Amino acid sequence: MDLDLTNGLKVGAEFCQMFSVANLDDLPTAVETDIRYEPYSTEHSDFPISFAAPLGLLLGTNHILNQYVFLDNSQKTVKTFEQKKDRLNSLSLYSRQNAINFEYYNAFLNELIAHKRRPPSTP
């Protein structure tokens, strides 16, 4: 492979450009698991593609895409949820809302354990 670093990065006859999406303001406010791709969808059926397809498969140039997903420490997150659940339980005598939220946290933690799921980011 022919690398040239004199005027930027050049591989063979092609110049390389690098872009980064790191600022949360540059990302959409909501993310879906997939989106409807109109060119291949019909009125009777959807052709779903990844929400990130415009940065990957549908990018109109040769490219390499690197994606990093950072996962929180799930044990620490579960511990935080457990502490919040216990605090809500102790406060449930003072407020009906605390009792309701305790039930939500309890049900959520039971489902995490029963289905061996990862919790979301720390609340």
How does pLDDT run across 21-80, given as a tens digit for each residue?
777 777 767 777 788 889 999 999 999 888 778 777 788 877 777 777 777 788 888 899
Alpha helices in 1-123 (DSSP H): 74-91, 96-115
11, 50: one domain: yes
Work out how many domains the chain is built from and give that number. Answer: 2
- Relative orientation angle of helices 96-115 and 74-91, to the nearest 10 degrees: 150
In a domain, 12, yes or no: yes
State percent of the chain over pLDDT 70.
Answer: 92
The SS3 call for residue 66 is coil
Residue 23's domain spans which residues? Answer: 3-55
Per the confidence metrics, is the pTM higher than 0.85? no
Question: Is pLDDT of 20 > 60?
Answer: yes
Q: Please report whether residue 41 resides in a domain.
A: yes
- Does 78 share its domain with 50? no
Neighbours of 80 (CB within 10 A): 15
